[in-house]
Amino acid sequence: MSLSIEAVTAAVSGLLEPETGKTLGALGAVRDVALAGDVASMRIVLGSPAYQPKELLAAHVEAAAKKAGASKVEVRWDYEMTRRAVQADDPCPEVANIVLVMSGKGGVGKSTVATNLSLALARAGAKVGLLDADMYGPSIPTMLGVNGRPVSADGQKFLPLERFGMKLMSLGFMLEDSKQAVVWRGPMLQGALLQFLKDVDWGKLDYLVLDLPPGTGDIALTISQKLRCTGAIIVTTPQEVALQDVYKSVSMAQKVGIPILGVVENESWFVCGECNARHELFGKGGGQLVAEQAEAPLLGQIPLDPSVRAWGDAGTPIVESAPDSIAGKALTEVAYKLAGRITAHNLSRENTAPLIDRSGGKNRHLPVAR
């Protein structure tokens, strides 16, 4: 085969991108193809820096270019973040994607998952913000070891605090005493959330992760009405008592038109330090059942590891402090899978305006990111 820029471009453009199911050509991912003798160079533009199958795709790109006649292939990886649809009155229009982290009940590790997923995305090179929307129990300040009060440089917007390259906002930053109870009615909570969205200078972000309160209260409903989020992930544990509550969160998300991007099962198993055996202390298969109910994938299973709690209490979550641990790797893998789901969802034809179920519960199948 005669080597040419056109031949290399055609060969690589025909490759299937595994997360979206589209060709690299259809995605416009193959750019700046050049030849220096028989050495082919190019830039491949992905939908997120947190791209799980990069090694696999790199091997396919090299093989395709060599089949087109190149003896050597040089690839520069880049990304252009896919974006949610933004409404005219969106409170944070420069934020490309807003991801909700939900749970049916407290105590399942929702905030731990939200914090570590945010960190994993930031470590991959994404611009990430984390909003502690759990107004009654703000835990992000403790988990990230952040103290301080946000200030305003222009008298109009607050500057978020920063840690590990992430922008952060929490009601906990505003409290004089971390043990102080927040005794607010629903309208005050909703007002505070909207202020955190529109009156904080988030800047340009790839991902803004919202750690929501557990359950099916006003906050999720307010979000569905006031802004177009990319979607939600549901956090659960395997035991039946958690599943009964999380099914309600799935149902609520479907009714108010929040796409469900996936399910994370936390505390899935424990490895005994003495016998090295794996024990499923809270049962098994619960996360998969929730995923089937939500018609969304099970993004991952996170082990019950005492070091997750210890590092979180110390203000350096396990993805930052021990990324090569079993739990650290599991959380990072979930983050990369989530990024892939977001890219596919944003590019999907199903990414249409959200629908509100006004049927009284008859329309069970509402927007779910496929």
Domain count across the chain = 2
Last residue of a domain, one of 22, 51, 79: 79
Shared-domain flag, residues 69 and 122:
no
Shared-domain flag, residues 221 and 338:
yes
At residue 365, the pLDDT reads: 40
The tokens for 113 are: 């998952």
Label each residue of the chain as H, E or C. CCCCHHHHHHHHHCCECCCCCCEHHHHCCEEEEEEECCEEEEEEEECCCCCCCHHHHHHHHHHHHHHCCCCEEEEEEEECCCCCCCCCCCCCCCECCEEEEEECCCCCCHHHHHHHHHHHHHHCCCCEEEEECCCCCCCHHHHCCCCCCCEECCCCCEECEEECCEEEEEHHHCCCCCCCCCCCCHHHHHHHHHHHHHCECCCCECEEEEECCCCCCHHHHHHHHHCCCCEEEEEECCCHHHHHHHHHHHHHHHHCCCCEEEEEECCCCEECCCCCCEECCCCCCHHHHHHHHHCCCEEEECCCCHHHHHHHHCCCCHHHHCCCCHHHHHHHHHHHHHHHHHHHHHHCCCCCCCCCCCCCCCCCCCCCCC
Dihedral, 133, 319, 109, 210 alpha carbons, nearest 10 = 20
Beta carbons of 150 and 350 less than 8 angstroms apart: no
Shared-domain flag, residues 31 and 176:
no
Q: Model's pTM, two decimal places? A: 0.88
The tokens for 287 are: 């996360």
Shared-domain flag, residues 70 and 106:
no
Shared-domain flag, residues 111 and 169:
yes
Q: What is the CATH number of the domain that holds 113?
A: 3.40.50.300
Shared-domain flag, residues 165 and 286:
yes
* Average pLDDT along the chain, 370 residues, taken 10 residues at a time: 91 94 94 96 96 94 96 96 89 94 88 96 97 83 90 87 95 70 63 86 96 81 84 91 84 90 91 76 85 93 92 94 95 97 84 43 41
Shared-domain flag, residues 112 and 59:
no
Q: Does residue 336 fall inside a structural domain?
A: yes
Q: Does residue 115 fall inside a structural domain?
A: yes
Q: What is the CATH number of the domain that holds 24?
A: 3.30.300.130
The C-alpha atoms of residue 311 and residue 80 are separated, in whole angstroms, by 33
Longest distance between any two alpha carbons in the chain, whole Å: 73
Shared-domain flag, residues 25 and 169:
no
Shared-domain flag, residues 55 and 106:
no
Shared-domain flag, residues 144 and 28:
no
Q: Does residue 177 fall inside a structural domain?
A: yes
For residue 112, the enclosing domain spans 98-347
Q: Does residue 90 fall inside a structural domain?
A: no
Q: Does residue 361 fall inside a structural domain?
A: no
Residue 272 amino acid letter: C
Q: Does residue 364 fall inside a structural domain?
A: no
Shared-domain flag, residues 75 and 104:
no
At residue 358, the pLDDT reads: 38
Q: Does residue 31 fall inside a structural domain?
A: yes
At residue 243, the pLDDT reads: 82
Shared-domain flag, residues 279 and 320:
yes
